[in-house]
Amino acid sequence: MTQERENMKIWFITGASRGFGRIWTEAALKRGDKVVATARSLASIAELNELYGDNVLTLELDVTNKAQVKEVVQAAHDHFGRLDIVLNNAGYALVGTIEETDADDVRALYETNVFGALYVIQAALPLLRKQGGGHIVGTSSNLGHVTLPVIGYYCSSKWAFEAIHESLAAEVASFGVKVTIIEPGAYATEFGSQQSLKAVEGMEIYGDFKQQFAESLRTMERGDPEATPEAVFKVVDSDNPPLRFFLGSQALPWVRETYAERLATWEAWEEVSNAAQSK
């Protein structure tokens, strides 16, 4: 049993069964924090009870079920008396080109990656306001700034996720509620597993292109997810945490290059743009 530490924090984490969610859940517990760990399958996180006893509360949660989200967030708050960090981590990837992906698959992706996070935020905010503050943290991606082909809809869900959190940060600052978007690069997590992605039925015309794309992903350098907890702790322990935080060394060079290209394009067309301001 972990001992309660000074400045102990209470976390609410979605998607705690695998990947970053599981790693950060256990790291927080090991450092003496308390965690409400949630997952679609309670069995997938049941062993946390044996390992960490009263410091963890495991709850079943499908983030696409708005009523269940509200009930579970309230139960989590009631159990520990407060929530210091609300971490939206549940999500998955959708693999398919823009043309070949059915709109129903895109809606389902958004139900988890965007609306699921929104349900958690809306359920938690009244509780955070009442307790005088808290920290809403969302797991996004460096693909919230840049895009790749074949997973364009996943990228789009992260762009939406980023915009929602940026607006949220301005809206809730006066309540003492902080907001941080964690943006990992490529890591050797289970994110590429069948449980964490859905691939659509493909069109033959894109077959070669998608095969080349898959090959490029296989050769991509991936970070060690076990190296991430200390960085996350520095963010959530900060008196002035950043709105956006890149996790790993890959994202900033890529984003820096991408924004330089965007600025160059906007500037090249500046005269045409300005001419459209007034007649």
pLDDT of residue 222: 86
- Total domains in the chain come to 1
The share of the chain scoring above pLDDT 70, in percent, equals 96
- Per-residue pLDDT tens over the stretch 219-236: 788 889 999 999 999 999
Q: What is the pTM of this model?
A: 0.93
What number of other Cβ atoms are within 10 A of residue 121's Cβ? 22
pLDDT of residue 90: 94
Is 149 part of any domain? yes
pLDDT at 138 over 70: yes
Mean pLDDT of the chain: 94
Is 143 part of any domain? yes
Is 41 part of any domain? yes
pLDDT at 279 over 80: yes
Is 154 a catalytic site residue? yes
CA gap 16, 44 in Å, rounded:
9
Is 158 a catalytic site residue? yes
Say if CB 62 and CB 117 are below 8 A apart.
no
The catalytic position among 17, 140, 141, 157 is 140
pLDDT of residue 216: 85
The catalytic position among 141, 153, 157, 158 is 158
pLDDT of residue 2: 42
CATH for 24 = 3.40.50.720
| Structural domain span for residue 120 | 10-275
Give helix 117-131 / helix 152-172 axis angle, nearest 10°.
20
Is 1 part of any domain? no
pLDDT at 215 over 90: no
Is 184 part of any domain? yes
pLDDT band at 243 (very low <50, low <70, confident <90, very high): very high
Is 99 part of any domain? yes
pLDDT of residue 217: 81
The catalytic position among 52, 153, 154, 187 is 154
